[in-house]
Amino acid sequence: MSHHKVTKPRIIGLTGGIATGKTTVTTYLAQRYQLPILDADVYAREAIAPPSAILTQIFTRYGAGIQNADGSLNRQALGDIVFNDPDEKLWLETQIHPYVRQRFREALATIQETQATVICAIPLLFEAQLTDFVTEIWVVACTPEQQLARLQQRNQLSIAQAQARIASQMPLAEKIQRADVVLDNSLDLATLHHQVDRALKRGC
């Protein structure tokens, strides 16, 4: 009879609104605690990297206007289409989400053997119905004004473009209601890091 205790790994689903500070949190968790980070954005980029079948579908639907000279996807041009049209955004997500789900499933299957805590950084945790993969949900939040300013600055967007991207997501307030932990990123970095430390200890 085996005596070693089987512990269920702690799988933290980290989400938030666009430009609320998810990357700041994952960077800290990776550097300070050496925790493995599984990133939905990385999988989503893989899904549309040439010569993927999903990319072919996207070009077929939207034409050469969203294709760069090297055959890759012009993400900004595609963004301007889907962030202004809910039906097109839904179509695109229907192509990409199943691929992302599959990659999480594979990665978690290999990582759970060795790791007690895993961070899944998933901007669309609720929208893509990926909550079944995680054991707890952390939401990174800031004020609407900060979110808009950060997004404009980071992506070099006009205020209208930034507002369209924020409006296309589930409202941050709704994500906060569904969170186990809310990390307030409206103050300085030290305050954010302190909240992360506390949230991590909480579940140990």
* Least confident span in 3-17, 90-104, 176-190: 3-17
In terms of CATH, what superfamily is 10-199? Answer: P-loop containing nucleotide triphosphate hydrolases (3.40.50.300)
Confidence (pLDDT) at 111: 83
Stretch 118-145: mean pLDDT: 95
Confidence (pLDDT) at 168: 87
Amino acid at 99: Y
Global confidence as pTM: 0.88
Is residue 2 over pLDDT 50?
no
Is residue 6 over pLDDT 60?
no
Stretch 108-113: mean pLDDT: 80
* Contacts with 17 (C-beta within 8 Å, 6 or more apart), sequence order: 141, 142, 147, 166, 169, 172, 175
> How far is residue 109 from each of residues 36, 114, 135, 203, measured CA to CA in Å?
13, 10, 15, 21
Of the pLDDT bands very low, low, confident and very high (cuts 50, 70, 90), residue 8 is confident
> How far is residue 74 from each of residues 64, 162, 197, measured CA to CA in Å?
10, 17, 38
Q: In this prediction, what percent of the chain has a pLDDT beyond 70?
A: 95
Is residue 197 over pLDDT 70?
yes
Stretch 22-37: mean pLDDT: 96
**Kind plus residue range of the DSSP H or E element containing 138:** strand 136-141
Is residue 115 over pLDDT 90?
no
Query: How does the average pLDDT of the chain come out, rounded?
Result: 92
Q: Where do the structural domains in the chain lie, given as residue ranges?
A: 10-199
